[in-house]
Amino acid sequence: MQKMGMQILWSVLYGILGGLIFLLGLNFLKSIPEKFQDIYKIGLPIPFLIMYFLSQRYLPNQKNVFWAFFLVSMGWMLDFYLTGRFKDLFSLNAKELSGFAYTMVISTLLVSLPVISGWLISNQELSTIYLQWSEGNWGIIVGLIGFLLLGGFGVLQALGQGLETKVIGAAIPMMLVFSLANGFREELVYRAIFLKSFQENIGVIAAVFVTTLVFTLAHIDVSYTPANLIIFTIALVMIGVIGSLIMIKTGSLIGAVLFHAGADVALIIDLLSSHQLILK
């Protein structure tokens, strides 16, 4: 009973810490007075780093968790301050599909590189954050099936809304660039870097639940039409649960990235059909 109580306590704490990074630090940053936003973004990694050093002595089982939170908060901080500058440097227009896609590539690099390099600096194997080839092909197959189903659903919906086939065909290269980059970035920082260290402390089911909950809440406001909110939420939960299970069972994030990318293809097609993005 005491062990279960501690698992619940740590699960709640992980959810709160994830909320500080992914919800308050990203989606709801504007809710913080503007003069304090820079302080929040720059200062957020500091308590995680302090907790990491303290945990080495007092809570050794939690040190990888706090290190992961530190690295992810550093990655998002770099993304917050530098992605826009690189976008301007390369004259990328985020209202054009190509500019939107290449901006995502920049963001992915800025978020992912600190996470990967920091994990190596701490003498951790990349396999512990699922950066390795899949153990068995079934995970990749499931990812590809999900990619085709989710992407295909988006195509059918767009065709029903009048988007021309030739537009969809011309958009495929940049859709793939965007979806694979974003799929890798989000599967890495929302799930891969946390799953194993969470499992060690709160168990598999709770680890999947917490990472999926944070991922879902952080994406709710991405829904562009309120009528689709329920379907969108279901899709987010499905991506979180299936992505987590693929990683845990195969030891790799490849299948999860492919599955996730299918949803992003559907998103891009929706943006094109609603003219929020232009093909260029």
- Give the tens place of pLDDT for each residue, 173-193: 999 999 999 999 999 999 999
Q: Which helix (H) or strand (E) covers residue 167, if one does?
A: helix 165-186
Distance CA 79, CA 72 (A): 11
Q: Quick one: DSSP state of residue 125? A: -
Distances (CA, A) of 231 to 17, 42, 100, 118, 220: 27, 35, 25, 37, 11
Residue 163 DSSP class: -
pLDDT above 50 for 223:
no
pTM for the whole structure: 0.94
Q: Which two tokens stand for residue 21?
A: 């990074």
pLDDT of residue 271 exceeding 60: yes
Name beta bridge partners: 96.
278
Task: Please state, as a whole number, how many other Cβ atoms lie within 10 Å of the Cβ of residue 58.
Answer: 9
Q: How far apart are CA 127 and CA 253, in angstroms?
A: 10
Crossing angle of helices 34-43/45-58, nearest 10°? 30
Domain assignment present for residue 114? The answer is yes
Q: Domain tally for the chain?
A: 1
Tokens for 61? 């089982």
Q: Is residue 249 part of a domain?
A: yes
- In single-letter form, the type of residue at position 137 comes to N
- Percentage of residues in the chain with pLDDT exceeding 90? 78
Give me the mean pLDDT over the 101-109 stretch.
97
Decide: 178 and 260 in contact? Cβ < 8 Å: no
Determine the structural domain holding residue 169 and report its residue range.
Answer: 2-273
What confidence tier does 222 reach under pLDDT thresholds 50, 70, 90? low
Mean pLDDT, residues 229-244 taken together: 89
Of 30-34, 40-44, 118-122, 197-201, the least confident: 30-34
278 belongs to a structural domain: no
For residue 279, is it within any domain?
no
pLDDT at 162 (0 to 100): 84
Q: Has residue 127 been placed in a domain?
A: yes
pLDDT at res. 43:
96
Q: How confident is the model at residue 52 (pLDDT cuts 50, 70, 90)?
A: very high
| CA gap 163, 155 in Å, rounded | 9
219 is a domain residue:
yes
- Residue 226's pLDDT band, with cuts at 50, 70 and 90, is very low
Q: What is the pLDDT of residues 63-82, one digit of tens each?
A: 999 999 999 999 999 999 99
141 within some domain: yes
Indicate whether 26 belongs to any domain. yes
- Exposure b/e, 227-264, CB count within 10 A at least 16 = b: eeeeebeebbebbbbbbbbbbbebbbbbbbbbbbbbbb
pLDDT of residue 157: 82
